[in-house]
Amino acid sequence: MQYVKLIREKQRDKDMRNIIIDCDPGHDDAIAILMALAHKDELNILGLTTVGGNQLLAKVTKNALKVLSLVDEDIPAAAGEAKPLIKPIHTGEDAHGESGMDGPVLPEPKFSVVSDNAVQFMYEKIKGCKEKVTIAALGPLTNIALLLRVYPEIKSKIEMICLMGGGIHIGNRTAAAEFNIYVDPEAAKMVFNSGVDIVMAGLDVTNKAMIMDDERELLRGKGKISDFVSDLLDFYSLASKRFGFEGSSLHDPCVMGYLLKPDLFEGKRYHVDVETQGDITRGMTLADERPVPEKEANTLVLLEVKRKEFIDFVCQCVFKLDAERRDKKTL
């Protein structure tokens, strides 16, 4: 067994994408995490960090550990910042409920965090990795802004920051701003202006990555993990409908979808900056779409997704996790 593991480790060094997932589970964060765990043959998940956002830090951290426990994946996890850099914390219980992941009932997590300092944890994981590392950012950008500020030299080891956040033509927390950016606009401004390559899965694309009720039903009864995702979406769809949407936008899964199936997406490169001073425009991600922009593009803004293929892919990730666990039981 050791020999097989050795080959796999060797393989891992050669052609894997090293990633760190920063998140605030969060119904859609949980699905994105499962998508990554279904593709450990392509993604070398160095760790998972949590940040206050959809709910308070303790709740989102517990939710992250519950998801890892559900699939029995002891990925190193670290808790991060409870509050934004400047603004007071603003949570999203209107969409995610009191626990931050209302709907499914999961047992207490069997794993614990290995650190309460996500910034230090991320720095050490990235520094210790031979190749560059991709950061998949699924919540407010507080941890990542601090990482880049405290350890600026680490930028050279970051492949890209693929983030769910913003929207160059639309908001959701306000008419101008998407939730993750709205919560910590100062952090977002630092990240977009850091010089690190950014892929932005904003509302322009994630509102098109919608799972419809009939597609959601296909998940029911296919296994423990599929039922968990079905329960997540049953609750999450209630919020979507309250906000006037026909289906549920799979916001954070678009980040993992892009990293695993980039051909399902289309985008354009723009210079994007973040409004931090405005009252009604706080957290707005402004793209310079002029024919001759003032500054060089810093962001690939995702604008289109092949919705049906993307939803099929998300479901296949979930079915794969259930199938792998059924196979394990028969070994």
Task: Tell me which residues are annotated as active site.
Answer: 251
Span 80-119, contacts to ligand RIB by CB under 6 A: 92
Secondary structure tally for the chain: helices H, strands E? 13, 12
Out of 22, 81, 178, 275, name the contact with ligand RIB by CB under 6 A.
178
**Residue recorded with tokens 């794993």:** 111
Among the candidate windows 20-28, 55-63, 190-198, 279-287, which touches ligand RIB by CB under 6 A?
20-28
CB of residue 139 to Ca ion, shortest distance in Å: 4
Kind plus residue range of the DSSP H or E element containing 270: strand 265-270
Our finding on whether 184 is near ligand RIB (CB under 6 A) is: no
What is the phi/psi pair of residue 129, to 5°? Answer: -90, 135
**Which residues of this chain interact with Ca ion, rule CB under 5 A?**
24, 26, 29, 138-139, 252
Q: Which is nearer to Ca ion, 29 or 102 (CB)?
A: 29
- When binding is defined by CB under 6 A, the residue of 17, 18, 26, 301 that contacts ligand RIB is 26
* Cβ atoms within 10 Å of 114's Cβ, excluding its own: 13
- Which of 17, 18, 21, 28 binds ligand RIB (CB under 6 A)? It is 28
- d(C-alpha 285, C-alpha 86), whole Å: 18
Non-local (6+) Cβ contacts of 310 within 8 A are: 209, 250, 253, 254, 257, 261, 264
Cβ atoms of 202 and 196 closer than 8 Å: no
Under the binding rule (CB under 6 A), the answer on residue 299 touching ligand RIB is: no
Amino acid at 279: D
The one of Ca ion, ligand RIB, none whose footprint includes residue 55, by CB under 5 to 8 A per kind, is none
State the amino acid at position 295 in one-letter form.
K
Smallest gap from Cβ 181 to ligand RIB, in A, equals 9
Query: Torsions phi, psi of 268, nearest 5?
Result: -135, 150
Residue 205: both structure tokens together: 């694309």
Residue 80 in contact with residue 143, Cβ under 8 Å?
A: yes
138 binds ligand RIB per the rule CB under 6 A: yes
User: Considering CB distances under 5 to 8 angstroms, the limit depending on partner class, which of ligand RIB, Ca ion, none binds residue 240?
Assistant: none
Interacting partner of 283 out of ligand RIB, Ca ion, none (Cβ under 5 to 8 A depending on kind): none
CA atoms within 13 A of residue 203's CA, in its CB half-sphere? 22
The answer to whether residue 59 forms part of the interface with ligand RIB (CB under 6 A) is no
Task: Give the residue from 254, 278, 251, 276 showing the smallest Cα distance to 264.
Answer: 254
Instruction: Pick from 18, 20, 24, 270 the residue near ligand RIB by CB under 6 A.
Output: 24
Q: Is 304 within 8 Å of 267 (Cβ atoms)? A: yes
* Contact criterion met (CB below 8 Å) for 326 and 226: no
Q: In terms of CB distance, is 135 or 157 closer to ligand RIB?
A: 135
Residues 219-258, mask of contacts with ligand RIB (x by CB under 6 A): --------------------------------xx------
Q: Which is nearer to ligand RIB, 94 or 304 (CB)?
A: 94
Residue 50, φ and ψ in degrees, nearest 5: -120, 155
Residue 185 within binding range of ligand RIB, rule CB under 6 A: no
CB of 299 to Ca ion, least distance (A): 19
> Length of the chain in residues, anyone?
331
Specify the residue, 34 or 157, whose C-beta has the smaller distance to ligand RIB: 34
| Least CB distance to Ca ion at residue 77 (A) | 15
Residues 27 and 228 sit within 8 Å (Cβ to Cβ): no
> Would you tell me which residues interact with ligand RIB (CB under 6 A)?
24, 26, 28-29, 53-54, 92, 138-139, 164, 172, 178-180, 251-252
